[in-house]
Chains A and B, each alone.
Chain A
Amino acid sequence: MNATPELIAPPSAAPAPASPSVHSDGTTIPPPAFAKLFRRAPADVAARALPAALGVALIVHRLAAKNELANETQLYTQFLTGLLVAAGLAAVAQIFWTGLRQWLRENCPILAAAILLLGAWETITAGFRWLPMPYFPSPAGVLQSLVNDRALLFDSTWHSLLLLLGGYALGVAVGLVTGICIGWFPFARYWGMPVLKIVGPIPATAWIPLAMVVSPSAIFSAVGLIALAVWFPVTMLTASGISNTRASFLDVARTLGAGRGYLIFRVAIPAAMPSIFIGLFMGLGASFLTLVVAETIGVKSGLGWYVTWAQGWAEYGKVYAALVIMAAFFSTIMTLLFQLRDRVLVWQKGTIKW
């Protein structure tokens, strides 16, 4: 914390234009006019912002917690204190550690904002009790529920994961096959496309009444519904990607001696990969929705079931705890798919931005 005054000068003091940002691939892009307003703070300021925000949240918590039972708020106190210590250590360590400084400069503003948001949440729930109880517990209450009920939450997450992966894998496998057939073979397109266009847009959850009748168990029907929800976007985007393969790629491959197998598997499918991945992402979103609905209605396990069950007991702390788990769970799976995309589509690097 012994930075020179120039380093910690407030951003508004310098009338100099915002410096151009350097992209990871080395190209510089000129900053837009409004960038001046959002110019990143120097590392020192950024590193201090996080402990400051945590300090604010801790003070808010101590004030608000006076209204509540000590054993329900203790955990949150420990949680914030632990974070504060970690942030303080990071603020010191970043003076010597360039990598950490870079990371803090990138992530401190958003992390500090998240902490302040927690503080605001606690203020309006536990502090002033502006929102009706028990529907809106404080963050301290949610954390307490999360920890108290961790065994059941873990079990529910595990069941949701199995159901999701089963349904998603089935939907992707069938969707790729039908998509490739519809995209490549004219007869498959003639017979398959109308079915796809009529059946596909029906939300998978609308089939629940039928699924309950025909399926031997709720798990089977849930897997089938998730697969159906995934199948439509995957088929649609795969078929479109395959049939939009550049004709000259196919021409070149033919003059290189390619047979049908090469044309489909080594030209059309790789060429369709960017489109196929859009389908995979859309299918993943649809699978989350269908999973939660299926668990809410029929399946007797999983996070969707847990939310309904906790709501039945009016334990809203647990409801929010399950939502927190869901957010972490779904975004992790989404991130994994993004990483797979980056790996498979490495040849596009620098040409795509999404």
Chain B
Amino acid sequence: MVTLAAAPDLIAEGSSLRVREVSKSFAPADGNVAERGEETRALERVTLSVAAGELVSLVGPSGCGKSTLLRLIAGLDAPGAGELWVGPEPITAPSAERGLVFQDPNLFPWLTVRRNIEAGLVARGVLREKRNEVDEFMRLVGLEKFAGAFPHHLSGGMAQRVALARALINHPKVLLLDEPLGALDAFTRMKMQDEVLRLWRARRTTMLLVTHDIDEAIYMSDRIVILTPSPGRIERIIAVDLERPRQRSSPEFLRLRGDILELLHFAGSTAAA
């Protein structure tokens, strides 16, 4: 049997993604007198296209609509205006072809690690045909030994690996990552960044990564989309033309980091660092 990791070139699962002139507003929260009548404009006329197999990061301060954009692409919310497509198909509802991983792994606590990973196959009613893939994905994320464990026994990094395997087992055309490594400690996070890159290379899935860690965005992505808040807009899209594996302390890396911080008006803090 050919393992997925050993034959990356055989698989190109990603699909292109287009977001055109998308806006999204939220009604004011009830009972909040100060904001009553004012709706929050989470996204305003956002346009973005991502090529098949590309890894793009969304970076910006909180409230800039990164997570909202991800939920729209996942199909969990409908846009107020504008259109979204995966390949040639418009996005109307959630689907297994657009996997989503949150900061909180959101593993089903009543299922073992193995059953969590199987969940997508069960949901689509294809467990019988694809049962052998479960082992493959458990191996892919290095969790064979924890097949029977319940989620509350797992560390944060392990739980997030299960969440990744659970999303990947459906072979999504687009994998949406909403700060998936945000809750991990610095060392685990750097290890997991390599892990995600390995999975991305193995599967050539299109990935959209929301993060507020600029180093993470530079280390991982082909392009970085900088968003600004209220209303959420795309400020700039930066291509990262550095060879992988990237050196976090190389002059090019640091220069890029300085540029992005300047764009986000945090340039002063780099001088201190």
Contacts and interface: CB of A to CB of B under 8 A. Distances in A.
Interface of A: 246, 248-249, 251-259, 262, 266-267, 270-271, 273, 346-351
A270 B102 CA distance: 21
Contacts of B108: 249, 267, 270-271
In this complex, the member of B98, B99, B110, B151 whose beta carbon has the largest number of chain A beta carbons within 10 angstroms is: B110
B123 A252 contact: no
A266 B96 contact: no
Given A252-B102, A252-B106, A270-B108, A257 B76 contact: no
Contacts of B76: 251, 254-255
Given A255-B75, A256-B170, 16 more contacts: A248-B106, A251-B74, A251-B106, A255-B176, A256-B124, A256-B166, A257-B95, A257-B123, A262-B122, A267-B108, A271-B108, A273-B110, A346-B150, A347-B111, A347-B152, A350-B152
Secondary structure dominating the interface of A: helix
Interface string B102-126: 1010101111000000011011100
20 contacts: A248-B104, A249-B106, A252-B106, A253-B119, A255-B74, A255-B99, A255-B100, A255-B167, A256-B166, A257-B96, A257-B124, A258-B123, A259-B123, A266-B119, A266-B123, A267-B108, A347-B150, A347-B151, A349-B150, A350-B152
Interface string B57-97: 00000000000000000111000000000000000001110
Contacts of A266: 119, 122-123
Contact of B98 (A253, A255, A262, A351): A255
A256 B110 contact: no
A286 to B, nearest CB: 27
Contact of B110 (A255, A262, A271): A271
A344 to B, nearest CB: 9
A256 B111 CA distance: 15
Nearest to A351: B152
Contact of B94 (A255, A346, A349, A351): A255
Contacts of A348: 109, 152
A255 B95 contact: yes
Interface of B: 74-76, 94-96, 98-100, 102, 104, 106, 108-111, 119-120, 122-124, 150-152, 166-167, 170, 176
Contacts of A273: 110
B152 A256 contact: no
Contacts of B99: 255-256
A217 B167 CA distance: 57
Contact of A257 (B109, B150, B151, B170): B170
A93 B176 CA distance: 65
B155 to A, nearest CB: 15
A348 B151 CA distance: 10
Contacts, number: 72
Contacts of A246: 106
A248 B122 contact: no
Nearest to A254: B94
A57 to B, nearest CB: 47
Contacts of A351: 152
B92 to A, nearest CB: 13
Nearest to B169: A256
A347 B110 contact: yes
A80 B176 CA distance: 72
Contacts of B120: 256-257
Nearest to A350: B152
B110 A270 contact: yes
Contacts of B74: 251, 254-255
Interface centre among A251, A257, A266, A347 (most CB of B within 10 A): A257
Contacts of B176: 255
Most chain A beta carbons < 10 A, residue from B100, B104, B108, B111: B108
A256 B123 contact: yes
Contacts of B100: 251-252, 255
A254 B71 CA distance: 12
B109 A256 contact: no
Contacts of A262: 122-123
Contacts of A249: 106, 108
Contacts of A271: 108, 110
Closest 7 CB pairs of A and B: A257-B96, A254-B94, A256-B120, A258-B123, A255-B100, A270-B110, A257-B124
Contacts of B152: 347-348, 350-351
Nearest to A248: B106
Which residue among B74, B75, B123 has the maximum number of chain A CB atoms within 10 Å of its CB? B123
Contacts of B167: 255-256
Nearest to A256: B120
A251 B94 CA distance: 9
A176 B32 CA distance: 37
A349 B120 CA distance: 25
A346 B149 CA distance: 11
A253 B107 CA distance: 10
A24 B96 CA distance: 42
Nearest to B99: A255
A256 B170 CA distance: 7
Q: Which of A248, A251, A253, A255 has the most CB of B within 10 A?
A: A255
Contacts of B104: 248
A45 B110 CA distance: 44
A348 B170 CA distance: 28
Contacts of B151: 347
B96 A256 contact: yes
B205 to A, nearest CB: 14
A19 B64 CA distance: 55
Contacts of B170: 256-257
Contacts of A252: 100, 102, 106
